[in-house]
Amino acid sequence: MKSIILSILSLFIGYSAFSQMYLNSSEISSTTNVIGNSYDVHKIRISAVIENSIARTTVTQTIKNTTDHDLEVEFFFPLPANTVIQDFTMMVNGQEIPGKLLKKEEAKNIYESIVRQHRDPALMEFVGYNLFKTSVFPIRVGEERNITVNYSQVVEKKNGSYQYSYPLGTQKFSQRNLKNVEVDVRIKSKDGIKTIFSPTYDVHIDRKSDKDVRITKTMENTIPDQDFKLQWNSSNDDIGTQLISYYPKDSDHGYFLLIASPSMNQRVEVTHKNIVFVIDKSGSMSGQKLAQSKNAMKYVLNHLNEGDKFNIVVYSDYYDVYSNGLISYTEENKLKALEYVESIKDDGGTNINLALKEGLQLFGKKDSESNAYETINNNPNYILFLTDGLPTVGEKNEAKIAANVKEANKYNAHIFCFGVGNDVNSRLLDRISSENGALTEYVKPNESIESVVSSLYTQISSPVMTDISLKFNSMKIQQDYPKPIPDLFKGGQLMLAGQYKVTGKTTLNIMGKVGGKEHAFEFPVEFLDAEHSTGNEYVETFWASKRIGYLINQIDLYGKSDELINELVALSTKHGILTPYTAFLAKENTDFRANQLNIQNASNELDNLNNVQGGAANATRQYKNKLMNSQTFGADEFEELQKDADYDGVGGKGFITGAADKKEEKRILNVSGKTFYKEKDTWIESNISKIEQDKAVVIKKYTKEYFDISNQNSASMNQVLSLKGNVIVNLNGKIYNFQE
């Protein structure tokens, strides 16, 4: 029977994170002395209930021995030296496996021994940890085992927020894709749970109540390379806020992430709204398109709130308005409107300019004496605009239509656009929505129009605060996104990223309309300095993604400039954020430091923005909109967008493609806030120049010097040392070249 080590690894972010299980099952080859997988992972499930600052976690993995011989298995579970875990148990097929807790010095000897013997650095990030070590048990040929770990731990609060972490990122050392990964976290609190987010994954947040939230994430056939992290705060205020800041060393400015979330309780008044449908009924909408558009309108009409007002404009080469003005939402008025929707027939061309101008006029009127434009009421105004084609009647010039719509929007209406199919002018729709405080959704051929419209409407159906502005007393912020600040809706939250220069405590004022009346909320906040913001490096990356989206949008709508392209390439290179216009950075023959060449390549790719029709045009603009407006910033969200989109002329089917059944070799990795590019067998930190690389201090891996440096590093920085191959990195201001 061959013996292997199954390491259940844990990752800790500061003193407020949790010990978690990661299974890295490996068999040591007798011929190559290299660790390689000897089993398949069918499923990993992480389930946690966090109640009154106590986290009870259960991690289950189903594994199968896929070798032709029996295996003997031993488990490691690293634990930080300053962490106390209660009620720790490990079960295999329902039977508890005895184990022993080793202190960090004894544990360090085991970690280093494995690394030296097998010349595999995967365990380096756990040097300095205690270790829970189990006894040996067998797994027969072809046998499956369900491995379960249970434990409890106190959740500590740091800088005003709670944090939960699970080291999914260590799965990057796996040789095969994981078939299924499920994360299910339930947070219960005696105080209201306000802001909550994951800086690493696009999670689903289900707010059961103000004090009960469920967070879930499911992934199939993947190798996660980001740790699963949650961060949240709690309060009983009507609106909760959380400010997370990061100030890089040797920088003249820092980065912040502001999150605001309204209470779910009944004290928070939902603002009544005015909503106008502007729906294309031209001949090209015949059949399924028009039927689904009708169903989308019916969905919204059936989900309006008491006190809302609405109207309908249908258009082709002419327009038809359902009513002379906005109609109050009542059961009777709803039924009449539903009958009208059912009666709509397709015909004619497409006069976008006229239809939108008419829809905007419904929100107010011009005073005959003062010539001022006055809104019908104090409600926020929304237009849901749907089209499947190009303007064919009336004004056809893209820039003029956008300017006319902006000029006609006297009542601060948010115009949400829906482009149906591949024949729309996606740049025109983006310009209309971007210049009028909203966004565009694109409906692919054969995709459900009703599903896309109803999904967006569900998000905006219950506005709590509108026309929002921010002010930091005695502090100035810059380059903050998104612009303009979107409205705040019940069950949702606002995420704003920006830069700051001055550190210290100040007061945040959030101003806006609540129930149609001006309100202001005041919160104490603090912008941290470099010394106290370690661990928040992801904030800079989040800001960079928003800035990149903004830069692409400016280039798309108003044309290329050297300044915008230079910054786009610089930010994409530094943070490893790939776009359809910088995807070449991930190609094997690309020198990420060849700045001028990369700028020229990006400029060439940006010429694709001249394409305003087709699936590729829609997909690239959908990606841009997600980058600018997404309320999450997990790497998985961007990768899914990249894989799903058909970028003609930008690398074919997606600009990053994933392997179906094996681990894809990546050329770009983000580890501990650092971005690395792979050149042959060497990982190079993105901001290290060729001159610095040539002068780097050479350290042979697995030597005394190598382990001495590891012992001086934080666990976060030791993640860098766990990379396989040569690694060139800046550690505490010194450039090292760690060589195999």
Residue 137 lies in a domain: yes
Residue 588 lies in a domain: no
pLDDT of residue 433 exceeding 60, the answer is: yes
| 409, 483: one domain | no
In the predicted model, what is the mean pLDDT of residues 357-378? 84
Greater pLDDT, 35 or 188: 188
Please state, in angstroms and rounded to a whole number, the distance separating the CA atoms of residues 81 and 604: 53
Greater pLDDT, 268 or 500: 500
pLDDT digits (tens, 9 = 90+) for 565-621: 999 999 999 998 888 899 899 888 899 999 999 999 999 999 999 999 888 888 888
Q: What is the pLDDT of residue 642?
A: 54
3-state SS assignment for residue 504? strand
- Please count the residues of the chain: 740
Query: pLDDT band at 23, cuts 50/70/90?
Result: very low
For 503, list phi and psi in degrees, rounded to 5: -95, 165
Are the C-beta atoms of 79 and 99 separated by less than 8 Å?
no
Residue 488 lies in a domain: yes
| 413, 484: one domain | no
Q: What is the pLDDT of residue 179?
A: 82
| CATH number of residue 24's parent domain | 2.60.40.3680
3-state SS assignment for residue 652? strand
Q: What is the pLDDT of residue 373?
A: 77
What number of other Cβ atoms are within 10 A of residue 561's Cβ?
Answer: 12
Most confident residue range from 5-9, 16-20, 148-152, 215-219 = 215-219
Residue 642 lies in a domain: no
Are the C-beta atoms of 218 and 235 separated by less than 8 Å?
no
Mean pLDDT of the chain: 82
Residue 549 lies in a domain: no
| 264, 317: one domain | no
For 176, list phi and psi in degrees, rounded to 5: -130, 155
pLDDT digits (tens, 9 = 90+) for 649-662: 343 334 433 333 44
Residue 629 lies in a domain: no
| 103, 174: one domain | yes
Please state, in angstroms and rounded to a whole number, the distance separating the CA atoms of residues 465 and 378: 12
Indicate if the alpha-carbon torsion angle 260, 265, 271, 276 is positive or negative.
positive
| 305, 353: one domain | yes
Q: Which amino acid is at 631?
A: Q
Q: What is the pLDDT of residue 84?
A: 60
| 471, 380: one domain | no
What would you report as the CA-atom Rg of the chain, rounded to the nearest whole angstrom? 28
Residue 640 lies in a domain: no
Indicate if the alpha-carbon torsion angle 503, 507, 512, 514 is positive or negative.
positive
| 420, 278: one domain | yes
pLDDT of residue 473 exceeding 80, the answer is: yes
Please state, in angstroms and rounded to a whole number, the distance separating the CA atoms of residues 403 and 610: 19
Q: Which amino acid is at 204?
A: H
Taking Cα atoms as reference points, which of 373, 376, 378, 309 lies closest to residue 517? 378
Greater pLDDT, 666 or 81: 666
In percent, how much of the chain has pLDDT > 70?
Answer: 83
pLDDT of residue 360 exceeding 90, the answer is: yes
pTM of this structure: 0.83
Query: pLDDT band at 339, cuts 50/70/90?
Result: very high
119 membership: H or E segment, kind and range: none
| 264, 291: one domain | no
Are the C-beta atoms of 469 and 486 separated by less than 8 Å?
no
For 683, list phi and psi in degrees, rounded to 5: -95, 125
Domain end marker among 430, 461, 492: 461
Query: pLDDT band at 127, cuts 50/70/90?
Result: low
Query: pLDDT band at 539, cuts 50/70/90?
Result: very high
Report DSSP letters for 469-488, one per residue: EEEETT--EEEEESSSPPPE
Taking Cα atoms as reference points, which of 194, 214, 186 lies closest to residue 55? 186
Most confident residue range from 103-107, 199-203, 303-307 = 303-307
* End-to-end Cα distance, the chain: 31
pLDDT of residue 376 exceeding 50, the answer is: yes
Q: What is the pLDDT of residue 288?
A: 85
Q: How far is CA 573 from CA 433, 514, 602, in A?
A: 29, 42, 11
pLDDT digits (tens, 9 = 90+) for 163-178: 887 767 655 556 677 8
Q: What is the pLDDT of residue 68?
A: 83
| 243, 282: one domain | no
Report DSSP letters for 414-451, one per residue: EEEEEEESS-S-HHHHHHHHHTTT--EEEE-TTS-HHH
Please state, in angstroms and rounded to a whole number, the distance separating the CA atoms of residues 340 and 668: 55
Please state, in angstroms and rounded to a whole number, the distance separating the CA atoms of residues 470 and 427: 30
| 338, 407: one domain | yes
Query: pLDDT band at 6, cuts 50/70/90?
Result: very low
Q: What is the pLDDT of residue 3?
A: 46
Distance of alpha carbon 575 from the chain centroid? 15
Q: What is the pLDDT of residue 12?
A: 27
Taking Cα atoms as reference points, which of 207, 345, 214, 222 lies closest to residue 265? 207
Domain end marker among 208, 234, 260: 234
208 membership: H or E segment, kind and range: strand 204-209
pLDDT of residue 638 exceeding 60, the answer is: no
Are the C-beta atoms of 213 and 193 separated by less than 8 Å?
yes
**CA atoms within a 13 Å half-sphere pointing along the CA-CB vector of 555:** 28
In percent, how much of the chain has pLDDT > 90?
Answer: 40
For 420, list phi and psi in degrees, rounded to 5: -100, 120
Helix, strand, coil shares of the chain as percentages rounded to 5?
A: 25, 35, 35
pLDDT digits (tens, 9 = 90+) for 493-519: 888 999 999 999 999 999 998 888 899
Greater pLDDT, 639 or 425: 425
Report DSSP letters for 337-373, one per residue: HHHHHHH----S---HHHHHHHHHHTTEEE-TTT--E
| CATH number of residue 421's parent domain | 3.40.50.410
Q: What is the pLDDT of residue 11?
A: 29
Beta bridge partners of 258: 243, 496
| 313, 455: one domain | yes
Query: pLDDT band at 410, cuts 50/70/90?
Result: very high
Taking Cα atoms as reference points, which of 590, 586, 593 lies closest to residue 668? 586
pLDDT of residue 103 exceeding 80, the answer is: no
pLDDT of residue 705 exceeding 70, the answer is: yes
The tally of domains found in the chain comes to 4
> Looking up tokens 């050392």, which residue turns up?
173
Please state, in angstroms and rounded to a whole number, the distance separating the CA atoms of residues 207 and 204: 10
Query: pLDDT band at 335, cuts 50/70/90?
Result: very high
DSSP label of 175: S
| 171, 285: one domain | no
In the predicted model, what is the mean pLDDT of residues 77-106? 72
Please state, in angstroms and rounded to a whole number, the distance separating the CA atoms of residues 485 and 452: 23
Residue 679 lies in a domain: yes
Instruction: Count, in order, helices (H) and strands (E) of the chain.
Output: 15, 44
- Helix ranges (DSSP H) in 74-203: 104-118
Domain end marker among 444, 461, 478: 461
Give the domain range for residue 208.
Answer: 2-234
> Looking up tokens 């390689």, which residue turns up?
36
